[in-house]
Amino acid sequence: MRRLAVVVPKPDSQTAIDGLEAEGVYDDRRKVCEHDADHVELPVTEEPASVPFERAIAQDDPDPRAPDLDDLLRERGWTDAERDRAPSSWAVLGSVILADFGDCPRPGEAGDALLSLHREADTVLDRGGVDGEHREPVVSVVAGVGDTETVHVEHGTRYAMDLAEVMFSPGNKAERARMGDEVTRGERVLDMFAGIGYFALPMARAGAQVTAVEKNPTAFRFLAENAQLNDVAETLDTILGDCREVEASADRVVMGYYDALGGPVAGDDPGYLAAALDALDAGGMLHVHAAVPEPELWDRPLGRLRAGCERADRAVEILDRRRVKSHSEGVFHVVLDARVD
């Protein structure tokens, strides 16, 4: 039986799949197949109208897609109890699959099964959290070739990274896209904790003039590379250093560091909010990220933001507050959007 597929570059595969699903032409009954070293074949019911692809081809006797990891592991002889300990979720970032394996039995076998499900990937990593002042990831290779460098494409933004050296949170996908929608062309933005460009890149691609500050030299190297990769070097000014020492004037400030308002102890003020308010013009927008235990929602982040604005003699209006994702057991990643006069 001959079925239709479109050929796309491997780094663009996940974005293409998202677009094909949105258009209603992605055929999830078939597997994604490798076309050559640089391309994959994505199964479709008809040629897409809005998703870019290099060419359409007919597949002869295509392989059916395994429904999910659980079914695939069952076929490979895993017991019910063993499958209960397999990863329940994972993220495909370019050519790398990132998952929490925990106490999974035979993680190498589970990793091989994930590679069978996602032919566009060639490496599986076990995510073990982050460590140190620069929040460096702790990962280990579970299966595949072990290449931790990749380019992940998300809503058209290309993120080059080494997942063994820099942090990337798949759960922040919607927030990254939202920041690109929030800004206006020519708006001046200060991103105080830019990382590899999580928020800075979508905002610069939307036409904002972004100053992106990062003190981790490895993350900064990828930030500068990503500015070139996304053709925004003209609108994205990258600075290696401590954001508290950067002089800027901004219409919008992004504080994407969980402890920017201070640690668990009340009054533990690292001075980031004061620096943000120094840079933010009157009437400007402030986006504050925090990791907060559920019993302290929303008192802790709101209280600290308001207290910091009061110390700076600035009026603050909270426009929105939302949970981005679960950070850990009983702790949530949240964001406050505020206008500061």
Annotated binding-site residue? 176: yes
pTM score above 0.95: no
Could you report the per-residue pLDDT of 228-279, keeping only the tens digit for each?
999 999 999 999 999 999 999 999 999 999 989 987 665 678 899 999 999 9
What pLDDT, on a 0 to 100 scale, did the predictor assign at position 132? 66
> Domain segments of the chain: what residues?
2-60, 69-147, 167-340
Torsion of CA 308, 208, 202, 260, to 10 degrees: -10
* Spacing of C-alpha 308 from chain mean position: 29
Same fold, 69-147 and 167-340: no
Could you report the per-residue pLDDT of 77-115, keeping only the tens digit for each?
999 999 999 999 899 999 999 999 999 999 999 999 999
Could you report the per-residue pLDDT of 167-190, keeping only the tens digit for each?
999 888 989 999 999 999 999 999
Residue 21 is encoded by which pair of tokens?
């699903």
Q: Which CATH number fits domain 167-340: 3.40.50.1970, 3.30.70.370, 3.20.20.80, 3.40.50.150?
A: 3.40.50.150
Annotated binding-site residue? 214: yes
Annotated binding-site residue? 310: no
Could you report the per-residue pLDDT of 189-201, keeping only the tens digit for each?
999 999 999 999 9
The mean pLDDT value of the chain amounts to 92
Residue 313, sorted as left (phi over 0), alpha (psi -120 to 50) or beta, turns out to be: left
Does the CA dihedral 167-171-175-176 come out positive or negative? positive
Residue 26 is encoded by which pair of tokens?
């992605």
Gap between the Cα atoms of 204 and 185, Å rounded = 9
Gap between the Cα atoms of 313 and 307, Å rounded = 10
> Does residue 64 have a pLDDT over 80?
no
> Does residue 307 have a pLDDT over 70?
yes
Residue 204's H or E segment, with its range, is: helix 200-205
Q: Please tell me the CATH code under which domain 69-147 is placed.
A: 3.30.300.110
Average pLDDT over residues 60-74: 80
Could you report the per-residue pLDDT of 8-47, keeping only the tens digit for each?
998 788 888 988 988 899 998 888 888 988 899 999 999 9
